[in-house]
């Protein structure tokens, strides 16, 4: 059977890691723009200023347990020669988009995933009128895609929110953002009508628990703030879906989950239960967005923790009506959890997290990221058996400290990773009958990693001459994986040698 003839093959990007041009075209600042660079085991920092004019920085990011800026602090840029903000330059797609899209088209892509910078369209997030220069820029990006026969997939909110909304309202903690997001989304639907058909509302919506500032602009994030923000994002997504169905019925609006199975380390029932609950904590988000209601296990958890949802009359009906049209997901690997011996090696990278341990059956790279040859098939079966909907892998990749030699990168490790994932997807389609819409490789062009804020952790099939501080020619070069993936696409996934 194999992949369908209209299968989407391509790559995925995010504006805060790829676009650059932060101070061009009338854009406002986003939360990502005040995040510094970091490194493996060196967390990124959010810079802020106090009412007395002093400034500081705090790791409100992935790999950190800190959840609050000091009372009275405002997240902002600081003028210090030792501070570098990677999003400001990134891979300079802002000035290279025609070249990058051409290279992706020559690789055989029929789909490219982008995210929009909300504050490029509404600089403060709630401006009365959109910034026309921002709309014109994105229109030309999407028109260029169409000229090459590439379908754009657009993420409306991908790990950045207007900085003004974060400072004034504590981000998505406030219900005020719901209608502002719907206004932004419907502005995009109208402005890009005929150019964009597929949208995602929130990137990896379940990651709010791990990095509430990154995902939801929360400057103060206790469990109640996070529950409020989660509810408000659910509500905004549902209202956006309803608006699209009512006024732009040709559009298809999906959700996006950070997926990946959690395995029990042993057959001890306690480990099995821990794995079940870990998976539930992830699928809670897709339960709401694909089934239209809060599951009983999550409501019971909130009740135990004394958390009250900010529900107003009509909200629950809105969640039920506004379920998404398809479920998209990112998938980098799997996790292993145990209730046993503390001396077990802790999981890192895509296998990290509280209570997670290393999988002794999988090899990892320098960042602790492992390649699981069955993770796609397992995840696709779990998702389809739970939701019975169209599925789309819109993000999957592996970062590596590539060596650029003689004008290229010999990245057989990336090819091995992609081969394993595509083979696993193919098994799910052929052997299990899973309806899969497409596969978009993450970071098809080198860009800044989100977790570390560095360029050294490269994902791309197209090399970008830039270092961790944005220095370099920005010249694009093709890696071995570029040519391998081109061959895979030409064969519609049949030739994986």
Catalytic residue among 204, 348, 452, 454: 204
Contact 32, 175 (CB under 8 A): no
Known catalytic membership, residue 204: yes
Contact 5, 435 (CB under 8 A): no
Candidates 31, 3, 1; CA nearest to 15 is: 31
CA distances to 129, 153, 379 from 188, rounded to whole Å, are 12, 13, 31
For residue 56, give the H/E element and its range: strand 55-58
Q: What is the largest CA-CA distance in the chain?
A: 66
Known catalytic membership, residue 107: no
For residue 426, give the H/E element and its range: helix 412-432
Candidates 325, 193, 185, 201; CA nearest to 248 is: 193
- In whole angstroms, give the CA distance from residue 3 to residue 151: 18
- In whole angstroms, give the CA distance from residue 358 to residue 348: 7
∠ at Cα 441 (439, 442), nearest 5°?
135
For residue 62, give the H/E element and its range: none
Name residue 337's beta-bridge partners: 264, 356
Candidates 383, 367, 213, 211; CA nearest to 286 is: 383
| DSSP single-letter state for residue 346 | B
CA distances to 192, 200, 354, 407 from 110, rounded to whole Å, are 18, 18, 38, 26
Catalytic residue among 151, 395, 452, 454: 395
CA atoms in the 13 A half-sphere facing the CB of 288: 28
Which residues form the catalytic set?
Answer: 204, 395
């Amino acid at each position: 059977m194999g992949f369908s003839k209209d299968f989407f093959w391509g790559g995925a990007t995010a504006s805060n890691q790829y676009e650059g041009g932060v101070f061009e075209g009338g854009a406002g600042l986003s939360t990502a723009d005040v995040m510094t660079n970091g490194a493996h085991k060196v967390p990124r920092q959010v810079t802020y200023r106090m009412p007395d004019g002093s400034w500081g920085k705090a790791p409100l990011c992935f790999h950190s347990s800190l959840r609050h800026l000091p009372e009275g602090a405002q997240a902002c840029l600081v003028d210090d020669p030792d501070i570098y903000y990677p999003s400001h330059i990134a891979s300079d797609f802002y000035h290279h988009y025609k070249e990058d899209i051409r290279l992706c088209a020559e690789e055989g892509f029929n789909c490219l995933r982008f995210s929009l910078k909300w504050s490029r369209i509404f600089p403060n997030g709630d401006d009365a009128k959109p910034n026309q220069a921002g709309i014109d820029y994105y229109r030309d990006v999407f028109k260029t895609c169409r000229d090459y026969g590439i379908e754009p997939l657009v993420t409306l909110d991908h790990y950045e929110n207007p900085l003004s909304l974060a400072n004034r309202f504590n981000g998505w903690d406030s219900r005020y953002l719901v209608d502002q997001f719907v206004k932004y989304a419907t502005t995009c639907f109208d402005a890009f009508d005929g150019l964009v058909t597929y949208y995602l509302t929130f990137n990896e919506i379940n990651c709010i628990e791990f990095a509430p500032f990154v995902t939801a602009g929360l400057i103060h994030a206790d469990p109640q703030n996070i529950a409020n923000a989660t509810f408000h994002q659910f509500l905004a997504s549902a209202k956006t879906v309803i608006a699209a169905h009512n006024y732009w019925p040709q559009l298809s609006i999906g959700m996006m989950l950070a997926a990946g199975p959690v395995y029990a380390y042993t057959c001890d029932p306690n480990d099995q239960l821990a794995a079940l609950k870990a998976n539930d904590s992830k699928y809670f988000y897709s339960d709401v967005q694909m089934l239209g209601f809060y599951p009983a296990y999550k409501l019971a958890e909130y009740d135990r923790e004394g958390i009250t949802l900010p529900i107003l009359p009509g909200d629950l009906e809105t969640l039920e009506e506004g379920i998404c049209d398809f479920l998209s997901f990112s998938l980098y690997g799997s996790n292993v959890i145990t209730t046993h011996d503390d001396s077990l090696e802790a999981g890192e990278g895509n296998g990290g997290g509280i209570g997670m341990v290393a999988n002794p059956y999988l090899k990892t790279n320098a960042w602790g990221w492992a390649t699981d040859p069955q993770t796609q098939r397992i995840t696709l079966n779990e998702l389809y058996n739970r939701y019975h909907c169209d599925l789309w892998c819109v993000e999957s990749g592996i970062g590596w400290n590539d060596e650029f030699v003689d004008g290229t990168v010999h990245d057989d490790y990336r090819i091995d990773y992609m081969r394993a994932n595509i083979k696993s997807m193919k098994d799910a389609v052929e052997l299990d009958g899973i309806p899969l819409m497409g596969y978009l490789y993450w970071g098809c062009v080198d860009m800044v990693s989100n977790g570390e804020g560095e360029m050294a952790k490269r994902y791309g099939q197209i090399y970008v001459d830039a270092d961790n501080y944005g220095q370099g020619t920005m010249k694009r070069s093709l890696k071995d994986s570029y040519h391998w993936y081109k061959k895979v696409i030409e064969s519609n996934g049949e030739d994986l040698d």
